[in-house]
Amino acid sequence: MPKSKRNRVVTLSKTKKKGKEHKENIVNSIRECAEKYSSAFFLGSNKVMQVALGRSDSDEIRPGLHKISKLVRGDSGLCFTNLSKEEVQRLFNEYEEHDFARTGTTATEKVELQEGPLDQFTHEMEPFLRKQGMPVRLNRGVVELVSDFVVCEEGRPLSPEAARILRLLGKKMATFRLHLICRWSPDEFEIYREGLEESDIESS
């Protein structure tokens, strides 16, 4: 009897990781931008960006860039531009993008769903919604909420389930902003983050 293809084991570990060549391309792109000041953003591995800039004054690609390298940590990125200092500050201060909130984010409002049909969801979604704690059932192929359900309360942190439900509902509670940490030019290095001095960077 032939083996069923449905029972065949499939390995999911065959995807190629981003290797040395990919990292070298990023390093070279960052170094090229540092020389030419073309407008570009780099977001990715902090270690790769640090290597590109230089981690000390002995391996930095331009004088003073290792100071930036020491501040590349957490959710950081690099911005290369020919714009003036004032224009960059204005753009960063004005930029704001609404996004879906993650687990642990404080809810900005109470979200409650009323008992009855949930027409925005297909019948295939019913098991998933139940796993998120929603009291739902299928009624003639329509997802139905059997009782009122509070997704989240204002001022309280979002649970993983609440964050998933809000995403499904298209409800955005987070605001994405960009904050300047420091600025480098051939003539000047300036720190914007409060409580951090240039001497702290040199000694870290």
Instruction: Look at residue 15 and tell me if it is in a domain.
Output: no
Instruction: Look at residue 165 and tell me if it is in a domain.
Output: yes
169 and 183 share one domain: no
Report which residue type is found at 132: Q
pLDDT of residue 198: 58
Domain that holds residue 59: 21-95+178-203
pTM of the model: 0.63
Q: What tokens were used for 70? A: 């020491």
- Kindly give, in sequence order, each residue whose CB lies less than 8 Å from that of residue 10, ignoring residues fewer than 6 positions away: none
Instruction: Look at residue 29 and tell me if it is in a domain.
Output: yes
Residue numbers in the chain where pLDDT is lower than 70 = 1-18, 38, 194-204
pLDDT of residue 6: 42
pLDDT of residue 5: 38
E strands, 8-76, are 40-43
Query: In the chain, how many domains are there?
Result: 2
Instruction: Look at residue 1 and tell me if it is in a domain.
Output: no
CATH number for the domain spanning 107: value is: 3.90.105.20
Q: How many CB atoms lie within 10 A of CB 151?
A: 23
pLDDT of residue 10: 37
Instruction: Look at residue 16 and tell me if it is in a domain.
Output: no
Three-state secondary-structure class, residue 125: helix
Instruction: Look at residue 5 and tell me if it is in a domain.
Output: no
Are 195 and 181 in contact by the 8 Å Cβ rule? The answer is no
Place of tokens 């704690």: 133
Instruction: Look at residue 9 and tell me if it is in a domain.
Output: no
Closest CA to 57 of 202, 179, 161: 202
Are 67 and 184 in contact by the 8 Å Cβ rule? The answer is yes
82 and 117 share one domain: no
Instruction: Look at residue 11 and tell me if it is in a domain.
Output: no
Q: How many CB atoms lie within 10 A of CB 46?
A: 15
CA separation for the pair 147, 134 (Å, rounded): 9
